[in-house]
Structure 1
């Protein structure tokens, strides 16, 4: 069975439609988004509109895995969660938004990150 993803109780017709909806949400200031798969997995995207934390979880208690930018120094703030919390992450644990969108598209299309993406397994 092919995995499908739901975003805000809507199952987009395609990964491209999901990315379009995600871009709309970011443009509207909604910087935390969770997608849920038909297989019970979750894909979290938290952005400050420049960089994004992209996490893939197999189940609710899973420490998961996430996209990274290896060997980059610094920290970025402005990651606003839906509960109003403002987070800051090491730049190594987030990726540029364009890379995040490419990674999200690949996960939605194939179930996993791009082969050339830097990725940390946190399990």
Structure 2
């Protein structure tokens, strides 16, 4: 079975390129948190402050997963506004640039997993 991805339950599946385009549109409209769900139950979350992004790949909505990290990045960034209005801040080591985040999303959707040149941290 080929895994498909959509922005939320019941939404039409999107291609990798369509997902990246839609993420860009959502971010431009001020929606800084987006979730994609796959036909296998996995979830891909992107939360951004428009400069950096937290990218999480989860086994399911309540399942374990991992997030991409940027070893060696220094500092802390805020402005990660969640859908519930919460304003989060993250160490830059736990986020990547927005461009890198979009590249990762495109690769996960197109190939079923993260790009081999990315580093991930398991979340428990």
Shorter-chain TM range is: over 0.9
Q: Is the 8 A contact 2:6 2:14 kept in 1?
A: no
- Secondary structure, aligned partner of 1:113: coil
Moved segments of 4+, more than 3 Å: none
Deviation at 1:51, TM superposition (A): 0.3
Structure 1 position 3 matched with structure 2 position 32: no
Name the residue aligned to 2:42: 41
Counterpart-to-counterpart distance in 1, 2:121 and 2:54 = 12
The runs of 5 or more residues in structure 1 that have no matched partner are none
Deviation at 1:121, TM superposition (A): 2.1
Deviation at 1:95, TM superposition (A): 0.3
The runs of 5 or more residues in structure 2 that have no matched partner are none
TM-score, normalised to structure 1, is 0.94
Structure 1 position 97 matched with structure 2 position 98: yes
CA-to-partner distance for each residue in 1:48-76, whole Å, 9 max, x for gaps? 00000000000233231011100212100
Counterpart-to-counterpart distance in 2, 1:6 and 1:76 = 28
Number of residue pairs the alignment of both structures matches = 123
Counterpart-to-counterpart distance in 2, 1:3 and 1:12 = 10
Judging changes above 3 Å, is the alpha-carbon distance between structure 1 residues 93 and 20 closer, same or farther for their aligned structure 2 residues?
same
Judging changes above 3 Å, is the alpha-carbon distance between structure 1 residues 13 and 83 closer, same or farther for their aligned structure 2 residues?
closer
CA-to-partner distance for each residue in 1:27-55, whole Å, 9 max, x for gaps? 00000000000000000000000000000
**1:55-94 correspondence runs (5 A):** 55-94=56-95
